[in-house]
Amino acid sequence: MDPAARPTRESPVRSPYRGRLAPSPTGLLHLGHARTFWTAYQRARSAQGTLILRNEDLDRDRARPEFVAAFIEDLHWFGIQWDEGPDLGGPHAPYDQSRRIPAYRDAFERLRRSGHLFPCTCSRRDIQSALAAPHAADEEPVYPGTCRSRDPATIPAGTRVSWRFRVPDGLPVSFLDQGAGPQCFTAGADFGDFILWRHDDLPSYQLACVVDDAAMGITEVVRGADLLVSTARQLLIYQALGLTPPAFHHCPLVTDAAGVRLAKRHDALSLRSLRESGRSPDELRGT
C-alpha cells in the first residue's frame, strides 16, 4: 500500500461508497426519518464511506429555514454525523436544492430535446377526475394520457405548462433492492407519465433527485419504502440521461400505534417532542 494512502486516525482512507441524507425542511423530522437516516449513517460508516447531507428545499411554499436548523440539530442529537452538507460545505456544493436550479434546467432541456417529454396543461383536478378508481393516499394517480398525443402547437401561447416524462407503456422496470429485495414495476400500470418540470418553472422531486444523486457521486440511496415506485421512475430518468444509477436500499416504514405511516403531521412522534419527553436516541433507534 502506498504509505501516503495508509489510514490514520485523523484521515481514514475512505471507500468509494457515497451515501446521502436528503431531508425536506417542511416540518420537524419524525421517528421514521430518524430510523431511515440512522440506517443510511450505519451503512456509510460500515463501508468506511462518505455521507452527505442535502437540503431538499425546492418547495418554495412549504420549505422554511428554521426547519433546516432543526433537522441539523435533531440529526446531531440522534448521533448522526455527515461529511459534506450545507453546514460543512464540500466538493459538490451547494447542498441546498434551491441553489442548484441551473443543473436541473440543463437536464430538463436535454430530456426535452431528446423527445422524452411532452407539455401538459392538465390541472391536478383534471387528472383526478379523468380517472375512475380512487387511489392510495400519496401516490399520484396514473396519468390518463390527456396531453400525451396532443400537438403542442395547439396549446395557446402564454399557457403555463408542466412537462411530463413519457413512460414506455408496459415496460417492466426491475431492480434488486439492497433492503427490500427484488422489485419490479410496470411503466404505464404501476405509474404513468410523471411531472418532470412543473408549471411554476421548478423541477419535480424526481428530476432534482436524479440530477443531484448523479452529480454528487452517490453510490447507494437509502430511503423509505414509500419511494420504491419513485425509484422505478428515477431509473427511467437515469437511462434517458445516459447516467449510471446508484444502488438502492429502501427501509421499512415506521407506523403509529394505529398502523398509519408516520408523517410530519404526527407531532407527538417528532424527534423534538420525543427528546423533550425524555426519550434517548438509543431507545428510539429501535435496533
| Interface contacts to ligand GLU, rule CB under 6 A | 22-24, 56, 209, 223, 227
Whole-number minimum distance, CB 214 to ligand GLU, in Å? Answer: 13
Rg (CA), the chain: 20
Cα–Cα distances (Å) from 258 to 61, 144, 268, in that order, read 30, 33, 14
Q: Identify which of 3, 60, 53, 47 has the alpha carbon closest to the alpha carbon of residue 33.
A: 53
- Asked if 61 and 50 touch (Cβ cutoff 8 Å), the reply is no
- Asked if 74 and 34 touch (Cβ cutoff 8 Å), the reply is yes
Whole-number minimum distance, CB 158 to ligand GLU, in Å? Answer: 32
Rounded to whole angstroms, how far apart are CA atoms 142 and 148? Answer: 13
Task: Indicate the residue among 164 and 223 with the shorter CB distance to ligand GLU.
Answer: 223
Rounded to whole angstroms, how far apart are CA atoms 253 and 72? Answer: 22
Task: Indicate the residue among 40 and 122 with the shorter CB distance to ligand GLU.
Answer: 40
Whole-number minimum distance, CB 59 to ligand GLU, in Å? Answer: 9
Beta-carbon count within 10 A of 113 CB: 9
Task: Indicate the residue among 162 and 231 with the shorter CB distance to ligand GLU.
Answer: 231
Task: Indicate the residue among 68 and 227 with the shorter CB distance to ligand GLU.
Answer: 227
Task: Indicate the residue among 162 and 230 with the shorter CB distance to ligand GLU.
Answer: 230
Q: Identify which of 240, 55, 62, 248 has the alpha carbon closest to the alpha carbon of residue 166.
A: 240
**Helix/strand number for the chain, H first, E second:** 8, 9
Whole-number minimum distance, CB 56 to ligand GLU, in Å? Answer: 4
Beta strand residue intervals within 31-148, DSSP E: 50-53, 117-120
Whole-number minimum distance, CB 13 to ligand GLU, in Å? Answer: 27
Task: Indicate the residue among 17 and 118 with the shorter CB distance to ligand GLU.
Answer: 17
Whole-number minimum distance, CB 247 to ligand GLU, in Å? Answer: 14
